[in-house]
Structure 1
């Protein structure tokens, strides 16, 4: 998993509340267990018409936001079913950070397991960030995980809270397996001792 330290990128505004995982990645894209290729399906029902053509009014289809790496979204982002394809699709599209006032628990946890930083801010701070994100080509934010700070294009800064363990894992690019492998020496010592004490197992 890629480390998340400091990210400077275009922030796309999505002022929609209760964006569920079916909106993020429709069920038609759940036939694969591969983490790649799902970016095409991200927000597919909003990005594309029934004939497959792009909806020019959807934010990620606008020229200024096609390479967005940050999403500033409305309240209760990621609600609905617990599909891990949702963070996979965001990551495959290029989104490394989502900012909202609230996230659904399972989606929030899945983000950390896949190298995406979900940030919870107050309603007032979200309004400021949404305003920054609506600047088109100038909608650049810097997210500094070490400092736990979001810096806007005008130099203003917003602090955010973060669980220390989750912060450590993102800074070091550790998923569940990576975190376990940090204790490989202790695990090997235990297994060797167990083999000596119980050779019949």
Structure 2
């Protein structure tokens, strides 16, 4: 598998589940931490493991030939449900770099793209071809070319849509915070001017806490 700022390439795994929600992607019992660590274990937990914690041999990511998959082919409305960003963090920690599906939950899409998890929407017929390729003996490799906005596989060569902002983030290797910091000079200049014209709002929280204590 290769990954850099313009190409995501590797073996694909097909998950034939429509409306796969964020609770299924990252169950609530894995949300107790105060940081992003340790979420790979919880990814798709109830699909990967039975109630006794034993790996389900029939689930695609538990099968040896898909152990190194870095691209998921999913069903419609992938990532619907609650807004938990942990679902995105878990996918990334597990090693998933792209998900290709007919459609995505709106909040999940925003969370994913802002964290540089590439989401690609293709028509259902193209998704079916990718799924059949992934399910074939030996599986298949898929390449997502962010620069040209194309998906390539053995039988698929399709264009996909991507906003200019998200394309720039991927090509420059930046998340949403990194993109914001590109404007640091303008932000600092605005802050200085704002505090100069309205000095009473500078450090107001710290001053309030000092008075209370």
TM-score of the two chains, using structure 2 as the length reference: 0.86
Which string of whole-angstrom CA distances, capped at 9 and with x for unpartnered residues, describes residues 18-46 of structure 1?
10111101111010132222111111101
The equivalent of 1:113 in structure 2 is 114
Q: Which residue of 1 aligns with 2:154?
A: 153
| CA positional deviation for 1:66 | 0.9
Q: CA deviation at 1:167?
A: 1.2
C-alpha distance in 2, partners of 1:176/1:8? 23
Change in CA separation of 1:189 and 1:66 when aligned onto 2, cut-off 3 Å: same
Secondary structure of the equivalent of 1:95? coil
Task: Please state how far the C-alpha of 1:197 moved relative to its aligned partner.
Answer: 4.9
C-alpha separation in 2, matches of 1:197 and 1:18: 51
CA offset digits 1:41-82 (Å, max 9, x no partner): 111101011221110000000001111100000111111111
Instruction: Name the CA distance, whole Å, in 2 between partners of 1:22 and 1:168.
Output: 30
Shift of 1:199: 5.6
Q: Deviation at 1:192?
A: 3.5
Residues 25 and 85 in structure 1, CA contact (< 8 A), matched pair in contact too: yes
Q: Structure 1 residue 189 and structure 2 residue 189: aligned?
A: yes
3-state DSSP class of the match of 1:12? strand
Question: Secondary structure of the equivalent of 2:129?
Answer: helix
Name the CA distance, whole Å, in 1 between partners of 2:22 and 2:195: 46
- Deviation (angstroms), 1:188: 2.3
Alignment partner, residue 25 of structure 1: 26
User: Is residue 2:163 matched to residue 1:168?
Assistant: no
Distance 1:52 1:146 in 2: 41
1:38 aligns with 2:4: no
Question: Could you tell me how far apart the structure 1 residues matched to 2:26 and 2:199 are?
Answer: 50
In structure 1, stretches of 5+ residues that fail to align are none
Taking the TM superposition and a 5 Å limit, the aligned residue runs for 1:68-87 are 68-87=69-88
Report the Cα offset of residue 161 of structure 1.
Answer: 1.0
SS in 2 for 1:118: strand
Q: By how many angstroms is 1:146 displaced? A: 0.5
Query: Larger relative CO (CA 8 A, sep 6+): 1 or 2?
Result: 1
Gapped regions of structure 2 (runs ≥ 5): 203-213
Q: How many residues align?
A: 199
The 1:35–1:198 alpha-carbon spacing in structure 2 relative to 1, beyond 3 Å, is closer
TM-score norm. by structure 1 comes to 0.91
Aligned Cα RMSD in Å?
1.9
- Is the 8 Å Cα contact of residues 138 and 153 (structure 1) preserved in structure 2? no
Residue 81 of structure 2 is aligned to residue 88 of structure 1: no
Select the structure of larger CA radius of gyration. Answer: 2
